[in-house]
Structure 1
Amino acid sequence: MRYQFLLDPSITFLNHGSFGACPKPIFEEFQRYQLELESEPVDFIQRKQTSYLRTARQSLAKFVGCNAGDLFFTSNPTFAINIIMRSIKLNEGDEILATNHEYGAMDRTWNFYCKKTGAKYIRQNISLPIISKEQIIEEFWKGYTKNTKIVFLNHMSSATALIFPVKEICDKAQELGLITIVDGAHVPGHIDLNISELNPDYYTGTLHKWMLAPKGSSFLYVKPEFQNDLEPLVVSWGYESVAPGESQFLDYHELQGTRDVSAFLCTPKVIEFLEVNNWKKVSDSCKQIVLANYQRFCDLLKAQPLSPLTTEFLGQMASVPINTTNPTELKSLLYDKYKIQVPVMPLNGNFYIRYSVNAYNSQEDLDKLYQALEEIIKTTDLIST
């Protein structure tokens, strides 16, 4: 499988979780659309693009379990969340209940809007290690007050690489009359996803991570009753359109003027690639490698696993606590000397080394990381054990 990807063969790439990796057939489809755009830009943008986007949306909606008219493409989840935040009317004292495991860009975006409105962003502590799903749910709802207006939750955390019980939390939030927003950046193509069953008000996810699409391909799902309240982040030709399309919702958010939508249009090819290569089986094999190596790295780094070693909490990536004096220098050393691309992630005053496993990886790749860390422990003071 590794020869299907464009990754530099001299690098041991254990960081699929950050930006993904695109296989050759999908990248060729990406370039094909770009060439079509450049060969006749006016015809492509003014006549073909809407139809192409509709086909791509229909393909994606079937894959993620929702109606094609209830989502649109965005460049990334941060863009998607900014659309929501701009539209939701926050008042002074309103509270957004999240966890202290959210992605840093999301924390910053909520803080930005809260400063403007006087609302409060509550990063509810979810203690580590995770003992059970019930523990997460119980600790999360301790942050609920009469002022809570929104529940914001990552489906799978970035720094700690943990799967969160989104369905249970969404169900209770609906009972309480709260708005539910889910950041599923790491979910599509990684763990099972059926948006209709989860029933959030808003859900965003990427295609360019675990679905293997070209960079800059993500989506935002919005429940129908909220769609007409969603303002465009960029006001363009879709606003008060002289030639309305399927819905105001799609007009506002799809018609953004001149931009390259080639990454979005690759979606049918992306899904075809996953199906032809039996990606569910590939993904399950990768998850088993992640689980088989986790305790081994914990033992090396004298760390405790962040959760039970099961697929209820872990997917194709895992984060191991690491006691380092300089995470930036450690990451650079692993790359510059050992040719290993792996992140050292900060969160809440702690650091985690997070390895990802995909089809192009093997046990040998994790052995290289293990041996490099072993040598660094013996020869430097960057890691304490």
Structure 2
Amino acid sequence: MKSQFLLDPEITYLNHGAFGACPKPIFQNYQFWQMELEKNPTQFIQKKAAGYLNISKEALSKYVGCNPEDFFFVQNPTVAINTIMRSLCLKAGDEILATNHEYGAMDKTWEFYCSKSGAKYVRQNISLPVVSKAQLLTEFWNGYTTKTKVVFINHMSSCTALIFPVKEICEKARALGLIIIVDGAHVPGHIDLNIRALDPDFYTATTHKWMLTPKGNSFLYVKKTYQSMLEPLVVSWGYQSQVPNANPFLELHQLQGTRDISAFLTVPTAIQFLEDNNWSQQSQQSKQLILDNYQAFCDLLQSEPICPISSEFLGQMCSIPIRTQQPVELKELLYQHYKIEIPIMQIYGATYLRISINAYNSQADLDKLRLAIIDIQENTDLLN
């Protein structure tokens, strides 16, 4: 599979989870749409774009399990969460219940909103190592109070790479009458997703990570109950649209004047690529590599796994606790000297080496990382 990707062959790429990686056939389709736009920008933007978007949305809706009229494309989940939070109208004292494993940009978004509204962003502690799903759920709901109005939860954590029990959280949140917002940035193309079955109020995710499309390609699903209250982040031509029989929800959020929607239009080609290459098997092989190697890397780095080593908590990523006083220097050394692209993640005083892999990776890549770590341990003081 490595020859199918555009990645630098001189680099061992163990950071798919950050920004994804786009295969050649999908990138060629991206360039095709860019060329179509430039052949006649007026016709493309004013007459054809809506139809092209509908085709892409039909394909994606079947893949993630929702109706095409209930979501729109955005650049990334941060844009999606900014759109949601501006429309919530929470009052001073209202609480948003999250975990201390959320993505940093999301934390900043909620902090900004709470500083303006007087609401409170509750980062409920999920202790590590996670022992069981039951323990995780108990700890999460310990943060619930009568002031809780919103549950915000990542489906899969960026820093700690843990899969969260979102189904169970959604079920209880619905029973409590809470607004449910799920950040599924790492989910499509990675772990099974059926938004209809989960039944959140809002769900945002990327297609440019594990679905392999070009960068800047994500979506925001909104349950019909909340579509009329959701204000656009950018007010443009969709406001008070003159188009007969238009969907006001989609008009407001999809019509934003001049922008390049080429990445959005690659979704059907991406899905076809995944089907043609038996991606469920490719993904399973990558997941097995994580399960086979996690304990060994923890042993090498004299740490312990942060969860049971099973598919209940781990997908194609794992985070290994490390001890270092120089995380930036360590990351740069791995890249500059050993030609390994891998992130060093920090959250709440803990530091992690996060391995994320896809079909272009092999055991040889992980063996190269292991040898690099041994060399660093023997010849530097970066790991102590």
TM-score, L = length of structure 1 = 0.99
1:266 aligns to what SS in structure 2? helix
Q: Does residue 133 of structure 2 align to residue 112 of structure 1? A: no
Q: Does residue 148 of structure 2 align to residue 148 of structure 1? A: yes
Question: 1:357-368, aligned counterparts within 5 Å?
Answer: 357-368=357-368
Match of residue 163 from structure 1? 163
> What residue identity is the alignment partner of 1:202?
F
Match of residue 68 from structure 2? 68
Match of residue 97 from structure 1? 97
2:263 aligns to what SS in structure 1? helix
1:150 aligns to what SS in structure 2? strand
Q: Does residue 319 of structure 2 align to residue 335 of structure 1? A: no
Structure 1 residues 204, 245: CA separation in 2 closer, same or farther (over 3 Å shift)? farther
Match of residue 39 from structure 1? 39
Mapped partners of 1:245, 1:314: distance in 2:
45
Deviation string, structure 1 residues 185-229 (Cα, Å, up to 9, x no partner):
000000000001111000000000000000000000000110010
2:212 aligns to what SS in structure 1? coil
Deviation string, structure 1 residues 68-98 (Cα, Å, up to 9, x no partner):
1111100000000000001110100000000
Query: How far did residue 244 of structure 1 move?
Result: 4.6
> What residue identity is the alignment partner of 2:73?
F
Residue segments in structure 2 that go unaligned for 5+ positions in a row: none
Match of residue 325 from structure 2? 325
> What residue identity is the alignment partner of 1:141?
W
Q: Does residue 222 of structure 2 align to residue 222 of structure 1? A: yes
Match of residue 2 from structure 1? 2
Mapped partners of 1:314, 1:263: distance in 2:
29
Query: How far did residue 105 of structure 1 move?
Result: 0.2
Match of residue 190 from structure 2? 190
Question: 1:192-271, aligned counterparts within 5 Å?
Answer: 192-244=192-244, 246-271=246-271
Of residues 240-249 and 318-327 in structure 1, the stretch that sits farther from structure 2 once superposed is 240-249
Match of residue 273 from structure 1? 273
Query: How far did residue 357 of structure 1 move?
Result: 1.3
Match of residue 126 from structure 1? 126
2:101 aligns to what SS in structure 1? coil
Mapped partners of 1:23, 1:188: distance in 2:
16
Match of residue 50 from structure 2? 50
> What residue identity is the alignment partner of 1:335?
Y
For the 8 Å contact 1:294–1:318, the answer to whether it is kept is: yes
Mapped partners of 1:169, 1:136: distance in 2:
10
Deviation string, structure 1 residues 155-181 (Cα, Å, up to 9, x no partner):
000000000000100110000010000
> What residue identity is the alignment partner of 1:181?
I
Query: How far did residue 378 of structure 1 move?
Result: 1.0
Mapped partners of 2:124, 2:332: distance in 1:
32
For the 8 Å contact 1:325–1:381, the answer to whether it is kept is: no
> What residue identity is the alignment partner of 1:51?
G
Question: 1:8-27, aligned counterparts within 5 Å?
Answer: 8-27=8-27
Q: Does residue 379 of structure 2 align to residue 353 of structure 1? A: no
Match of residue 293 from structure 1? 293
> What residue identity is the alignment partner of 1:104?
G
> What residue identity is the alignment partner of 1:145?
T
Deviation string, structure 1 residues 112-136 (Cα, Å, up to 9, x no partner):
0000000000000000001111111
Mapped partners of 2:245, 2:121: distance in 1:
37
Deviation string, structure 1 residues 30-60 (Cα, Å, up to 9, x no partner):
0000000011000000000000001111110
Mapped partners of 2:40, 2:245: distance in 1:
23
Query: How far did residue 259 of structure 1 move?
Result: 0.3
> What residue identity is the alignment partner of 2:319?
S
Residue segments in structure 1 that go unaligned for 5+ positions in a row: none
Mapped partners of 1:246, 1:127: distance in 2:
48
Match of residue 137 from structure 1? 137
Mapped partners of 2:175, 2:220: distance in 1:
23
Deviation string, structure 1 residues 319-350 (Cα, Å, up to 9, x no partner):
00011111111000000000000000001110
Q: Does residue 295 of structure 2 align to residue 284 of structure 1? A: no
Q: Does residue 333 of structure 2 align to residue 312 of structure 1? A: no
Mapped partners of 1:159, 1:132: distance in 2:
19
Mapped partners of 1:297, 1:194: distance in 2:
33
> What residue identity is the alignment partner of 1:186?
H
Deviation string, structure 1 residues 290-323 (Cα, Å, up to 9, x no partner):
1100001000011110111111100001100011
**Superposition RMSD on alpha carbons, in Å?**
0.6
Mapped partners of 2:245, 2:186: distance in 1:
31
Aligned length: 384
Structure 1 residues 147, 182: CA separation in 2 closer, same or farther (over 3 Å shift)? same
Mapped partners of 1:246, 1:170: distance in 2:
31
Mapped partners of 1:246, 1:371: distance in 2:
59
Mapped partners of 2:87, 2:61: distance in 1:
23
Mapped partners of 2:133, 2:246: distance in 1:
41
Query: How far did residue 246 of structure 1 move?
Result: 3.8
Match of residue 378 from structure 1? 378
